[in-house]
Structure 1
């Protein structure tokens, strides 16, 4: 079958790019930072700077800025109601800082969702109400999945906002460890990471098991659609 032209947005690890490449697709990743593996099919750019208009068959956006969009971060953005001053702010940050960090997340997510690409999947946590108010009207609720549905002994609720693609189907659900055990604590290692300069990058890394499922299921779906045209 003809290979798909796939763009993996907002990724530096190469995990998602390699899984699609292993299925013989024409795959590029892009991010403002360099690829960790030094790979050539990686474009350093802001995803909003035109690359979305280059005739892709499938767009998978891995880690767009989401800290200020997610429900867990809502308390930093507003107090009671909407856009009232928060009772507390992160150390060293002002309310203007919070709003300045909020806007790029909205802009990048919206640019990717509305891109002229027939199949789109954007990884992002469930959004807070302030972010939802700024989203396109056709944005569905996310499909929430867990890494341990795909053979990864880890807890991390992962949301996929998808257009033109089916929902992911679990491939290898692992039995969950008993709460409070050492094994359960290991499964929660992402949530228990101590503060560090690398914490955000490490917490956002893709899960190979989940991305293998995505490459098989979404890539297979898209290939069948393209073959039928």
Structure 2
């Protein structure tokens, strides 16, 4: 399959799909951390119509969408930033790609009201379900894909990412997908396109 991994500079998810033989590309405003030539520098929205079979978007700008930051919208007048974040999510969620997965924290009602064709997330996953003894609740919005099933439940419920001390690269580490989750996505979502999805793609 042709796979587009949006909002990823680390290459973690791209490499997981590539390891199974897929034509996987990542796209982000930042250059690829691993210097891969399968990385597009720019706005992911500019390449959504390039004939992809699967779109997986991880760590899109979510600060204004997530429920934890809703209080700042009115106090700091951040409505324009909310509109921009909702517009990006809408473009990804409604992209002309048969299989789509978008990661985001739990959203507040103002975000939901602004997203075109909004649906509630299909599932919430945790790193400890995929071999990492940590907690970091991740919501997945899915279209044409089955929810992930755990591959290796382990002990440990440490909120390492949440408790990281402030430093210049903190944002970089917080936006990195866990290897176990990336491998589960590649192995569980990397099969042939379903008949109904193939029909949908031909009609698009």
Structure 2 length as normaliser, TM-score? 0.91
Over the residues paired in the alignment, what is the CA RMSD in angstroms? 1.6
Between the aligned partners of 1:99 and 1:197, the Cα distance in structure 2 is 27
Aligned equivalent of 1:36, options 33, 37, 40: 33
Query: What is the aligned counterpart of 1:106 among 68, 81, 86?
Result: 86
Q: Which of 57, 64, 70 is residue 61 of structure 1 equivalent to?
A: 57
CA contact (8 A) 1:65 1:104 kept: no
Alignment partner of 1:17 is 2:11: no
* Conserved? CA contact 2:3–2:55, under 8 Å: yes
Larger radius of gyration: 1
Comparing 138-147 with 21-30, greater Cα deviation is found at 138-147
- Please give the alpha-carbon distance, in whole angstroms, between the structure 1 residues aligned to 2:86 and 2:92: 10
1:124-139 alignment runs, 5 A limit = 124-139=104-119
2:163 equivalent in structure 1: 192
Between the aligned partners of 2:155 and 2:181, the Cα distance in structure 1 is 16
109-118 or 192-201: bigger deviation: 192-201
Instruction: Answer yes or no: is the 8 Å Cα contact 1:32–1:46 preserved in 2.
Output: yes
Contact 1:126 1:142 in 2 (8 A): no
Which segments of 5 or more consecutive residues in structure 2 lack a partner in the other structure? Answer: 199-204
For the residue of structure 1 that corresponds to 2:194, the secondary structure is helix
2:45 to 44, 48, 71: 48
Looking at structure 2, the residues matched to 199 and 107 of structure 1 have their Cα atoms a distance apart, in angstroms, of 26
Q: Number of matched residues? A: 197
Q: 1:170 aligns with which of 144, 150, 154?
A: 150
Q: The residue matched to 1:67 in structure 2 has which SS?
A: coil
The correspondence for 2:190, drawn from 219, 225, 229, is: 219
Shift of 1:108: 1.4
Distance 1:101 1:138 in 2: 19
Q: Which residue of 2 aligns with 1:75?
A: 71
Alignment match, 1:180: none
Normalising by structure 1, report the TM-score.
0.81
Are 1:47 and 1:108, in contact at CA under 8 Å, matched by a contact in 2?
no
Checking the alignment, whether the CA contact within 8 Å between 1:30 and 1:44 is kept in structure 2 is: yes
Q: Give yes or no for contact 2:121–2:142 (8 Å, CA) kept in 1.
A: no
**Greater alpha carbon shift after TM alignment, 164-173 vs 138-147:** 138-147
1:113, distance to aligned residue in structure 2 (A)? 0.7
Deviations 1:35-59 (A, max 9, x none): 101110000011122x000110000
**Kept after mapping to 1: 8 A contact 2:65/2:111:** yes
